[in-house]
């Protein structure tokens, strides 16, 4: 882990995508604090976890993850949505939130993480 390492929450229910994100973050020198694959686990982590950043799949097993984003936003924890639809697929209440369109590259993930945490 590097001096600039960030502890990250991953909210993703697709195992291969979660592993890709986890491996990519570790390769980038960050720490994966938790991979939440179910909405209740993601909500609990958002409420009580200590993270510097979160990557949130737009829905987990058909359940929208906007409540997770709302909790993180209220706590001042930066996040990015990960979705096959990109920013165009966000609910109107979350328009303007950072979004990565799946599939994304390591460079795109790094750029999103840098942008989201720059003001922290």
The H or E element spanning position 74 is: helix 66-75
Spatial distance between the Cα atoms of 18 and 55, rounded to a whole number of angstroms: 10
Per-residue pLDDT of the chain in tens (120 residues, 90 and over written 9): 444 899 999 999 999 999 999 999 999 999 999 999 999 999 999 999 999 999 999 999 999 999 999 999 999 999 999 998 777 788 888 988 899 999 999 999 999 999 988 865
- Cross-strand partners of 55: 10, 80
- Residue 109 near residue 12, CB atoms below 8 Å: no
What pTM was computed for the model?
0.92
Q: What class is the 7-104 domain? A: alpha beta
């Amino acid at each position: 882990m590097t001096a600039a390492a960030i502890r990250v929450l991953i909210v993703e229910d697709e195992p291969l995508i979660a592993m890709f994100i986890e491996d990519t973050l570790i390769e980038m020198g960050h720490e994966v604090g938790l991979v939440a694959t179910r909405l209740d686990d993601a909500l609990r982590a958002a409420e009580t976890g200590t993270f510097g950043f979160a990557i949130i799949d737009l829905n987990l097993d058909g359940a929208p993850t906007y409540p997770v984003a709302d909790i993180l936003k209220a706590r001042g924890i930066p996040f990015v949505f990960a979705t096959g639809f990109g920013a165009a697929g966000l609910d109107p209440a979350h328009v303007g939130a950072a979004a990565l369109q799946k599939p994304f590259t390591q460079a795109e993930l790094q750029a999103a993480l840098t942008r989201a945490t720059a003001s922290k």
